[in-house]
A = this chain, B = another copy of it.
Amino acid sequence: MSANTSEEQRIAGCSFSVYPMSDRFSNLILDALKATDSSKVWMKTDKVSTIARGRIPHIFDVSQAVFLHIAKTGVHTVYSATFSVGCPGDTAGHSYMAKDEKPMNHNSISSIKKDVTAKFALYPMGGGNYMDLIYEQIEAMKKHGVEVTPTHYETILAGSAQDVFSGLEKVLRATEEAGSKHTIMTVTISANSPSGDEVEI
C-alpha cells in the first residue's frame, strides 16, 4: 500500500464558518446551505461553526460551496476554516469514508467566478521537522496558480476562489503524503472586500 493510499483512508475534517457582512446574514447562510449538497460528509452545526468530516475532497467541496453561494451575491463574505487530518481519536463518521471522491457541488459552483484574498497556515504536529514541511508547502503553493506573499504567522494568497481552494487541498494532501501523522491547516478567505485596507481588520 502506498503512502498515498494509506493517507486517503484516514478521516479528514474541518470546522468552518462563513461570515456575510450584511444585515441579511441569516438568510444568506440558510440559502447557501440549501443550495449545497452535503450528502457525502458527516456534518453538524453548533453555535460557533459547522463541522464537516469525511474524505478530503468532499470537505473542501462542501465548505467551498457554502462560501461561494454567498459570495456570488456580491456581499463581502469571509470563510474561516480549520482542517484536520489524523487527529487522535477522530473515528466517528467513518461510514462516510466509503463514499467515492466525486465532488457533489462541482457543477453548481464551477461557474461562480470570484477573485479572493486569503491566508493559510499549516501545522504538522508531533515532529521536529515541521518548519521544513511548512516551507516546502508554501513553495508548492506558488505552483498551484496562486499568488503567495509572506507575512507574520500565516501566508497571504490571492487568486480565483477555485485556484485557492484547489491549492489548499493539494497542500493538505501533500503534507499527509510527506509523512505528517496529524496535520492542521487554518484558512481565511475573503471575497467582495472593499478595496480600502483600512476597513480590513
The residues of A with any CB-CB pair to B shorter than 8 Å are 13-23, 25-26, 29-30, 33, 45-51, 53, 66, 76, 78, 80, 82, 84, 87-88, 90, 117-119, 121, 123, 125-128, 130-131, 151-154, 156, 184, 186, 188, 190, 193-194, 196-201
Closest chain B residue, CB of each to CB of A126: B128
User: In the complex, what distance in Å separates the CA atom of A21 from the CA atom of B78?
Assistant: 10
Closest chain B residue, CB of each to CB of A194: B26
Cross-chain contact B51 with A197 (CB below 8 angstroms): no
Closest chain B residue, CB of each to CB of A118: B48
Interface centre among A17, A49, A201 (most CB of B within 10 A): A201
Contact A123-B45, Cβ < 8 Å, known A19-B19, A22-B23, A201-B33: no
Interface centre among A13, A48, A131, A198 (most CB of B within 10 A): A48
Contact A46-B123, Cβ < 8 Å, known A20-B21, A22-B23, A25-B21: no
Q: Return chain B residues, CB-CB under 8 Å to A48.
A: 117-119, 156, 188, 190, 200
Q: Return chain B residues, CB-CB under 8 Å to A26.
A: 194, 196, 199
Which secondary structure dominates where chain A touches chain B? mixed
Contact A201-B130, Cβ < 8 Å, known A19-B21, A78-B17: no
Cross-chain contact B125 with A17 (CB below 8 angstroms): no
Cross-chain contact B84 with A188 (CB below 8 angstroms): no
Told that A22-B23, A47-B117, A82-B153 touch, could you supply 17 new A-B pairs with CB distance under 8 A? A13-B153, A15-B154, A18-B201, A21-B22, A25-B76, A45-B198, A47-B156, A47-B193, A47-B200, A48-B117, A49-B201, A80-B80, A121-B184, A123-B123, A126-B128, A153-B184, A186-B186
Question: 10 closest pairs, A vs B, by CB?
Answer: A19-B19, A21-B25, A50-B201, A26-B199, A47-B117, A48-B119, A84-B153, A123-B123, A51-B152, A23-B23
User: In the complex, what distance in Å separates the CA atom of A51 from the CA atom of B17?
Assistant: 21
